[in-house]
Amino acid sequence: MARKLVVGNWKLNGSLAANEALLAACEALAGVDMAVCVPFPYLAQVASRLGGMALGAQTVSEFQSGAYTGEVSAEMLAEMGCRYVIVGHSERRALFGEDDATVGRKAAAALRAGLVPIVCVGESLSERDAGRVMEVIGRQLDAVRESIGAQGLSRTVIAYEPVWAIGTGRAASAEEAQAVHAAIRRQLAKYGAPAAEIRILYGGSVKTDNAQALFAMPDVDGGLIGGASLVAQDFMAVCRAAITGD
């Protein structure tokens, strides 16, 4: 995978004024694909100020329409100009009860609407210490594969986010990230998906001081960036670290 993808995840942050200032200080760069996933109320504002970056949302309903108060469908996101949507983020799994099967159905809903789901997978610290990293990630990927098949997986982005590294300031080393990314790619190949063509991003305290080492790894195809995406200087520095020569 020659060209890398860097996606900012604003989480539950932003205001009209703050968004305006942040976007004014960001610009699309040659040699890297860039996107921002923002809270639903700001999709229209951000869509008008992207300047070459792609738009994404942070979650999506598994339902297309109906009596599901508070839900937002993939078709609605597509209509607002979204290209990407995050599904299965560890915060959605832990705080909002999304299980593996739900994540699979959300990925399927995104694909039906023409969106690219960014499917998040990752283990907790206790699971890592118990040597269960790929057991956990394999189970998470299995559920997605059951919903969308190998052909559907070819149209996704996978984001490896070790739960113990999200928002903690503690990141996996470049070598640790590479080992898991390579294992994920092998798992995708076992499904019959075109593993070499599927982007696998690293997310988990990616910052200006570790981005270059992470992105230099052969199976790390970019990053899903949390806190650093809220500071224009930091986000742009991370994106510059991901620039390839193509």
User: Would you call 181 a catalytic residue per the annotation?
Assistant: no
Amino acid at 231: V
* 91, 123, 161, 181: the active-site residue: 161
Cβ neighbors of 174 (< 8 A, separation 6 or more) are 210, 213, 214, 216, 217, 220
Q: Are 115 and 82 within 8 A, CB to CB?
A: yes
User: Would you call 89 a catalytic residue per the annotation?
Assistant: yes
Closest CA to 12 of 44, 35, 43, 38: 38
Report the distance separating Cα 73 and Cα 88, nearest Å: 15
* 89, 98, 123, 181: the active-site residue: 89
Catalogue the active-site residues: 89, 161
